[in-house]
Structure 1
């Protein structure tokens, strides 16, 4: 089971990476150095940082709000398909 980090800790870690990004060649290399110092996996930190950049519209991609909306619509679509199948089998 993946380890869960408090939101505040994730935000501070991402801020640290973004603040020190100019000292490294890439987000990946910054996370490789900063993550272990904070006791956070480098890949987790990189994912959080990339998502923060998308949310801030610094890089293209689906924002957190858009991802949540997509998941909600997929769930609704799945439920409607199930209801439709039930109605088809009943008729």
Structure 2
């Protein structure tokens, strides 16, 4: 799992790159200089700047907010699928149980012998 970087350090790196971009001949050169001055990797600075450009609309891509929402929605879908599986198992179980109302109005529960076949029992 990637280590957490202080958001202030990240924003400082992005600010430095955007401020000093014109003083360097290449984008890579400014990334190297900022990375060295802050003690982080050049690749980290490059990714932070790229994500900042997406978040501000300068470049196309998935914004940080959209990425967080996708993460949340995927977790919710995973949880709902698990719940659905539990409900399916319960439904299969209770299909094998029939409920009858006797003449006196009381509920009687009994197994539906046609439901519990060897295939359903896994034998």
TM-score interval, smaller chain: 0.7 to 0.9
1:47 aligns with 2:47: yes
* Structure 1 residue 87, shift from structure 2 partner: 0.8
Matched with 1:7 is 7
Q: Which has the higher contact order (CA 8 A, sep 6+)?
A: 1
* Structure 1 residue 2, shift from structure 2 partner: 4.2
Q: Distance in 1 between matches of 2:73 and 2:10?
A: 27
Which stretches in structure 2 are left out of the alignment for 5+ residues? 92-123
TM-score by length of 2: 0.66
Q: When you count helix as a share of all residues, which structure comes out higher?
A: 1
Which one has a bigger Cα radius of gyration?
2
Q: Give aligned pairs, total.
A: 90
Q: CA RMSD in A?
A: 1.6
* Structure 1 residue 3, shift from structure 2 partner: 4.1
1:25 aligns with 2:22: no
Q: Name the SS of the counterpart of 1:59 in structure 2.
A: coil
Matched with 1:61 is 61
* Structure 1 residue 70, shift from structure 2 partner: 0.7
TM-score by length of 1: 0.87
